[in-house]
Every structure is written in C-alpha cells, then in structure tokens.
C-alpha cells in the first residue's frame, strides 16, 4: 500500500513540475538596452503614426514603448517576462503619466495576438527570430510592419535595411535595422 501511495505521490509531483515548466515562457534574449537614438530610428523606419497600435517584443526597461507613446502618440504595448524589468518599466510608464497609451504585459510573447498591431519592434536573438517568424507570418494583419534590430528574419525579404551609428556611453557602434511589411 505504501508503494502505491509513494508512486502516486511521485507521479503527482512530476505532473506539477512538468505543468510548471510548460507554463514558464522561454526567455528569447538577454536584456541589452537599445540606445535612445536607435529606438527613434526604429520607430521612424516603421513609420509609426499617432493612434496606431505598436507592440515591442522583449521590451526590457520599456524605452521603446515609452518613446512610441510619448513622442509618436501611439498606443504601445510591451511584452516582458522578466519580473524586475516588468515592474520597473510599468512603474516608469505610470510615473510619466503614459498609462492611457502605454503598458507592459508580463506574458509569453509567442502567444500574443499579432492580428492587431500596426507595428511590431523586436530586438531578439537570431534563433528567437527564427521561432517567431512563422507565428508572425500567420497571424499579422495585412499592412502591418515589423522592425528588427540587428538580426534579420531569415525567411523574409526586408523592404528596407539601414545602418545607424551611435556613440552611446563613449564607444561607437553600428546597428542594423530591418523593415518588413506584411
């Protein structure tokens, strides 16, 4: 009887652990903040307009979401799974009084509803772009745009590619931005 109880308890524990792992979103990139000058170029390249809906995937400290709302008048939503970054960026949005236009959701970006945004910005690893590409291709609405920072979507042909130089924190670096249209 003890063996049966032990086996059942072990099976229940494994099930809980597996369910917990299945619900934990995968981290698709390390946090590496995009310089403000590059953020501006990303939103300009993506032709973000007042009132449009913008998603920033892997939004980090929220700087892309904040600029999209603050300087472009867009409704902007970021996806960020890191607890600390989610809390800090959400607090910053409230502090700036942008709560009506901007928000950060702590959710798995791979499950987002991509049929709504007009512009999606990403700064993810190449392997993450590879995972995201078919999902975006299937779910994005016609006429929507994607701007990717530094890493291309290998299965798509960019409408435009630009290089942006920045001198952030005392050293010069070139960034490549890719624009895609659905």
pLDDT, tens digit, for every residue of 92-107? 999 999 999 999 999 8
Phi-psi domain of 132 (left: phi exceeds 0; alpha: psi -120 through 50; beta: other)? alpha
pLDDT at 23 over 70: no
In this predicted model, which residue has the larger pLDDT, 28 or 90? 90
165 occurs within a structural domain: yes
61 occurs within a structural domain: yes
69 occurs within a structural domain: yes
Count up the domains in the chain and report the number: 1
pLDDT at 17 over 90: no
152 occurs within a structural domain: yes
157 occurs within a structural domain: yes
Task: State mean pLDDT over 48-71.
Answer: 97
DSSP symbol at 25: P
* CB-based burial label for 96 (10 Å; 0-12, 13-18, 19+): middle
9 occurs within a structural domain: no
DSSP symbol at 156: S
In this predicted model, which residue has the larger pLDDT, 166 or 54? 54
Residue 133: domain span: 36-181
20 occurs within a structural domain: no
Q: For the chain, what is the mean pLDDT?
A: 87
- Of the pLDDT bands very low, low, confident and very high (cuts 50, 70, 90), residue 169 is low
Find the CATH number of the domain harbouring 139: 3.40.50.150
Which range has the worst mean pLDDT, 13-27, 68-82, 132-146? 13-27
Query: For residue 159, what pLDDT is reported?
Result: 98
10 occurs within a structural domain: no
Which residues lie below 8 Å from residue 176, measured CB to CB, with a gap of 6+? 149, 150, 161, 162, 163, 164
pTM of the shown model: 0.84
Any idea which residue has 């070139």 for tokens?
174
Q: Tell me if 57 sits within 8 A of 83, measured CB to CB.
A: no
């Amino acid at each position: 009887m003890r063996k049966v109880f032990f086996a059942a308890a072990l099976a229940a524990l494994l099930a809980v652990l597996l369910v917990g792992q299945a619900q934990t979103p995968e981290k698709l990139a390390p946090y590496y903040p995009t310089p403000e000058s590059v953020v501006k170029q990303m939103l300009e390249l993506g032709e973000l307009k007042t009132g449009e809906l913008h998603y920033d995937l892997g939004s980090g400290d929220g700087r892309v979401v904040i600029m999209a709302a603050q300087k472009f008048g867009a409704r902007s939503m970021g996806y960020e799974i890191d607890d600390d970054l989610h809390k800090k960026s959400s607090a910053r949005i409230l502090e700036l009084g942008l709560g009506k236009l901007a928000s950060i959701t702590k959710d798995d970006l791979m499950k987002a509803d991509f049929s709504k945004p007009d512009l999606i910005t990403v700064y993810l690893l190449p392997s993450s772009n590879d995972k995201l590409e078919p999902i975006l291709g299937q779910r994005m609405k016609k006429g929507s745009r994607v701007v990717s920072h530094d890493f291309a979507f290998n299965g798509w042909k960019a409408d435009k590619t630009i290089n942006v130089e920045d001198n952030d924190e005392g050293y010069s670096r070139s960034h490549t931005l890719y624009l895609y249209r659905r």
